[in-house]
A and B are shown apart, each in its own frame.
Chain A
Amino acid sequence: MDAEREVLDVLARNAREDIDDIAAQTGLDADAVADAIDALEADSVVHGYQAVVDWDRVDEGKIRAVVEINVELDRETGYEQVADQIAKFPAVDALHLVSGDYDFAVEVLGETMEDVSRFISEQVAPMPEVTQTVTHYIMETYKDGGIRFEDGDDDDRLSVSP
């Protein structure tokens, strides 16, 4: 595995790992780790670093919805252009072009359900290319970013064993 891939594997698991600890885990020296991170950022492999948040546990937390969007394209307008329009809204947390029954899967974050509904009906649905939207409010999140949302799993192993 090359250095960038090794560093990426560590960061994808824990983006707060500091450079010295990544160096110790990968066997690279600290400068090589710093270079790898710079390269990953410069090449747009790593776009940012965020916390994995369980918004249900935050007072005045946020509402999330997954919105299916169907679009109709014409000679002048491709997926790229439509995506660019949708992605510009700050309420859009994630945007994917997907295979299957609809075109885009959009993750929307809002303060309230009304916020999200209003955003979809007033901003997204009226776009000329959009033919249909289906909004799924997220009722409960069990796992996100590869992390299971639950209270700490007790280690029930014997504390010392051969």
Chain B
Amino acid sequence: MRLSDRARDLPESGIRKFFELAEARDDVISLGVGEPDFSAPWAARTAAIDSLERGKTSYTSNRGMAALRERIAVHHERYDQTYDPAGEVLVTTGASEAVDLALRAIVDPGDTVAIQSPAYISYGPGVRFSGGDPLPVTTRVENDFVLTYDDLERAGAGDAEALMICYPNNPTGATASRDDLAEIAEFAREHDLMVLSDEIYAGLTYRGDHASIATLPGMRERTIVFNGFSKAYAMTGLRLGYALGPSEAIDAMNRIHQYTMLSAPTTAQYAALEALQSCDDDVQEMRNQYDRRRRFVISRFRDMGLDCFEATGAFYAFPEAPYDDEQFAEDLLHEKGVALVPGRVFGEEGYGHLRVSYATGMSELKEALNRIDAFLDER
């Protein structure tokens, strides 16, 4: 069949292999899942059901329901972010759509987009879809996976048109403080880079509040922020996200969105509106549980003698693999039925690490860690 070069050249995600290996067995405990183990808060689910009962099944405004955009703007005041709901908020089908729209809106063929690495697997392919070239910028464990001015300079990011960052980070669980972000912001201003900031895990930080690079001096006008309901509100399957940014960028993204998506799913928008109105306590309770699991997982890995940096966000720990990360993940799955994801899947820079998701109930988490402990003892 005739397929485009674009489709043909896409590498298969390294996740796929482990998914197939894990699916082939029925005794697997998975620490390889990139989504919450909780269901969406019940109030949000009932709001979705209620909207269906009232027949709210038509399109919404392209940018998303006005009431939802207003509520999103209010919600972001907690991060000192102020955006005009009329022109600076765009509701999308998952934050993934927002990232895709932003890349298409700002990247021309031949442009370079610097990408913090290791990072979520979609950014690089997203840049390529727009004809751009991804430039990985290595973050290092010595710096707790926080991107530094030196990292950016060493990678030659100054020649790029844009910079993609993600804090709290998938896969490392790293967070960036306001001071950390100030260094990145300085580099972006000096080299006139647009910044694309994926803040989908903003609601899941365990040491102090989330800081957004868009709130630093001179950054709001050059930053597009992505967020959504998938992680903190445990609504992955409802596919609802949004972008916040200067109206010029949001307008451009909306023009593409009008042709490709029309509007984000209406049912999910009703669920999201309710989530913002009444589900802060649910989020707090989930965050408390993640935090206990986080401490537990990191402490167990350290007891096993594995180096494990203090991840303070999202729901991932990122310990060092005792030997080749991919081989280790395969051996562990084969011998002990525990699935996790080798770091290299998230870019060469993840080499030698393991992404361990603690979005799993405490009893399963304990069993999985006991199995890993036994596996290491047998070596």
Interface residues of A (CB under 8 A from B): 9-10, 14, 21, 23-27, 155, 157-162
Contacts and interface: CB of A to CB of B under 8 A. Distances in A.
B35 interface: yes
A147 to B, nearest CB: 13
Interface string B281-321: 00000001000110110011000000000000000000000
A24 B299 contact: yes
A161 B359 CA distance: 12
A30 B339 CA distance: 30
Contacts of B173: none
B292 A160 contact: no
Contact of B19 (A9, A21, A158): A158
Given A25-B296, A162-B345, 18 more contacts: A23-B299, A24-B295, A24-B299, A25-B295, A25-B362, A155-B37, A157-B35, A157-B37, A158-B19, A159-B19, A159-B28, A159-B32, A159-B339, A160-B22, A160-B341, A161-B32, A161-B34, A162-B34
A161 B33 contact: yes
A160 B30 contact: yes
Contacts of A26: 292, 295
Contact of A160 (B15, B296, B366): B15
A156 B209 CA distance: 32
Interface in B339-373: 339, 341, 345, 362, 366
A10 B366 CA distance: 15
Given A25-B296, A160-B30, A14 B15 contact: no
Given A10-B292, A14-B362, A158 B300 contact: no
A37 to B, nearest CB: 16
A25 B341 CA distance: 23
Most chain A CB neighbours (cut-off 10 Å) among B30, B121, B288, B292: B292
Contacts of B362: 14, 25
B339 A21 contact: no
A21 B22 contact: no
B233 interface: no
B35 A161 contact: yes
Interface in B12-49: 13, 15, 18-19, 22-23, 28, 30, 32-35, 37
B15 A25 contact: no
Nearest to A17: B362
5 contacts: A9-B288, A25-B293, A27-B295, A159-B33, A162-B121
B288 A160 contact: no
Given A155-B37, A158-B19, A24 B288 contact: no
B356 to A, nearest CB: 12
A25 B292 contact: yes
Given A9-B288, A10-B292, A26-B292, A160 B339 contact: yes
Contacts of A10: 292
A14, A21, A26, A158: residue with the most chain B Cβ atoms closer than 10 Å: A158
Nearest to A14: B362
Interface string B101-132: 00000000000000000001110000000000
B80 to A, nearest CB: 25
B296 A162 contact: no
Contact of A162 (B13, B295, B339): B13
A54 to B, nearest CB: 18
Nearest to A6: B292
Contacts of B295: 24-27
A161 B339 contact: no
Interface string B183-217: 00000000000000000000000000000000000
Contacts of B19: 158-161
A162 B300 contact: no
Given A9-B288, A14-B362, A21-B366, A159 B296 contact: no
What 9 pairs across the A-B complex have the smallest Cβ distances? A160-B32, A25-B292, A24-B299, A159-B22, A160-B19, A24-B296, A159-B30, A161-B34, A25-B296
Contacts of A24: 295-296, 299-300
